[in-house]
Amino acid sequence: MMSAFAKANLPIAKLTAIATDGAPAMIGSVNGLVGLCKTDQTFPDFWNFHCIIHREQLVSKSLNSDNVMKPVMEIVNYIRTHALNHRQFRSLIAELDQGLPGDLPLHCTVRWLSKGKVPSRFFELLDAVKLFMEEKGKDYPELSDLEWIMDLAFLVDMLCHLDKLNLTLQGKLKMLPDLVQCVFAFINKLKLFKTQIQKKDLTHFSTLLKASEHVTSAALKKKRDRYATLIDNLHESFVTRFRDLQLKRPQITFLVDPFNAEMDCLKIPLVTDEAAAELEMIDLCEEDQLKAVFREGTIEFWKRVPMEKYPNIKRAALKILSMFGSTYVCESVFSTLKHVKSKHRSVLTDTHVKELLRVATTEYKPDLRRIVHDKECQKSH
């Protein structure tokens, strides 16, 4: 790693945070990457994060859904992994002609969003699946069990909310405060979901509302209590997983809301002199000119903050701006590499791969009109 830093000419003194995938080899306090870096005297003090997107996915597993997913996966695999069954099922959907989706998707554990798409599509095609399995002589009593169908509908709605959060967390230009805000907003939404379910309000559970139309009031009340407990457990899992970000949140949100931040919010290692940073925070809160600039956006605002007058808090802001809250950028490069260096282009040299990756991942957009305008046209003979 040190040789890679030296080769890329990256000064270690400017390291502010390390984001990892949470593997023991990365976050181990003794022999892990983070532990070795913290004990190395050449490294400055830094924050370390377990990738926020990875954590969100781990928390979603606490939503106990084995009683639903096990039969769903068995049926989906029975239909999709046999070519004849697959063709017959698609023909059955076409014959029904009810504006239904054309097929069932396969679930892949690595592709996190597929877990939400599979039960959602399964619920839409429930009648077709039930009919097909009866024709094949496969007995799945769950497909006729109204309570199981309600569990499926609840899972569909919850996975839909979790998938929306996951998609919101993805992106190359996401700042750390943006990711933290999304996570804690979702934690507050879980409180709302629990309260509404207890009050018989299924506004945010459209699939469950549809499935509950054929269930008795007593069975519905029993299920609502269970769903409220599941949401509460999910809420507690989120709070536990993201407790470290909750503790750092006053420092993180300082970047996007400096005028309402506490004057003593900035701590080491964001600042080297906490007392001087407190005085600068007081001065900044009274800076009327900068308040007007703040409306232009976070990055533009911190560009205009003078380093000479506010050295401590500006360096702290630049440190937070440079932090990655997730490993999305790194993993997206590997996905790009899979397409760049395929089996059809396996003879690419390291130099070619490097340049192709650079073009494929850059946000830079060249002015092609100006480039072409500067070139002399070579007319054909």
- Spatial separation of the C-alpha atoms in residues 170 and 179, rounded to whole Å: 9
- Which residues are 49's β-sheet partners? 19
SS3 content of the chain, % helix, strand, coil (to 5): 65, 0, 30
Q: What is the pLDDT of residue 198?
A: 92
pTM score, two decimals? 0.89
- pLDDT exceeds cutoff 90 at 229: yes
Q: What is the pLDDT of residue 224?
A: 92
- pLDDT exceeds cutoff 70 at 380: no
Buried b (16+ CB within 10 A) or exposed e, 192-220: ebbebbeeeebebbebbeebbeebeeeeb
Per residue in 130-157, pLDDT (tens digit) is: 999 999 999 999 999 999 999 999 999 9
Q: What is the pLDDT of residue 235?
A: 96
Residue 173: other Cβ atoms inside 10 A: 7
- Spatial separation of the C-alpha atoms in residues 38 and 30, rounded to whole Å: 9
Comparing CA positions, the residue from 211, 169, 135, 137 lying closest to residue 53 is 169
Token pair 């099922």 is found at: 89
- Spatial separation of the C-alpha atoms in residues 262 and 89, rounded to whole Å: 61
Domain boundaries, the chain: 1-50, 58-166+174-247
Q: What is the pLDDT of residue 228?
A: 94
- Proportion of the chain above pLDDT 90, given as a percent: 65
Question: 272 exposed, middle or buried (CB, 10 Å; 0-12, 13-18, 19+)?
Answer: middle
CB 244 within 8 A of CB 299: no
Per residue in 111-137, pLDDT (tens digit) is: 667 778 899 999 999 999 999 999 999
pLDDT category at 338 given cuts 50, 70, 90 is confident
